[in-house]
Amino acid sequence: MTHDMRPPRHDIRLATAADVPAVQAVTDAAYAHYIERIGLRPVPMDADHAANVAAGRVHVTGDPVIGLLVLVPEPGHLFLDSLAVHPSAHGQGVGRALLEYTERHARELGLGEIRLYTNAKMWENQKLYPYFGYELVERRVEDGVYDRFHYRKRLA
């Protein structure tokens, strides 16, 4: 008997209007535990998900949706606005698949860099992003409230 050691496949597609409730639910589930830690609702929880979906910025995986990305093409780089994985799907390679997809998408758009930021109190991300090749660019407080670490990854 042989065992397939490859990670499970996570097909990723553009979200549709029908996905908006799931996008909200997964985002809320992924970020809710940070509210107490950082003392306010993480910005992705209050995003206009319908507008982001309509603009073609939201990419989802799973049926039902278990993970998503909000990707915004900017001049010279792709901005990774949000990455959310439902807690029930942790440890299944969803986050890795989403980050790999982000790189492919940036290359398809002809963009040589990905940028993102994360709240300084989301300390798990300070290990995650460097592990996947992102470099810390700076830490700055924005709007007097958001203490953020800004990262970038240059693509070969």
Residues 39-68: pLDDT tens digits?
A: 999 999 999 999 999 999 999 999 999 999
Q: How far, in Å, are 12, 23, 48 from residue 63 at the CA level?
A: 10, 12, 22
Q: Are 38 and 124 in contact (CB under 8 A)?
A: no
Whole-number pLDDT of residue 153: 98
> DSSP character for 155?
-
So what's the pLDDT on residue 7? 53
| Residue 133, CA atoms < 13 Å, CB-side half-sphere | 11
Per-residue burial over 51-60, b if 16 or more Cβ lie within 10 Å, else e, is ebbeeebbbb
Q: Say if residue 80's pLDDT is above 80.
A: yes
Q: pLDDT for 107-144, tens place per residue?
A: 999 999 999 999 999 999 999 999 999 999 999 999 88
Average pLDDT, the chain: 94
% of the chain at pLDDT higher than 90: 90
pTM to 2 decimals?
0.92
For each of the domains in the chain, give its residue range(s) and CATH number, in order of start. 12-116 (3.40.630.30)
Q: Are 65 and 49 in contact (CB under 8 A)?
A: no
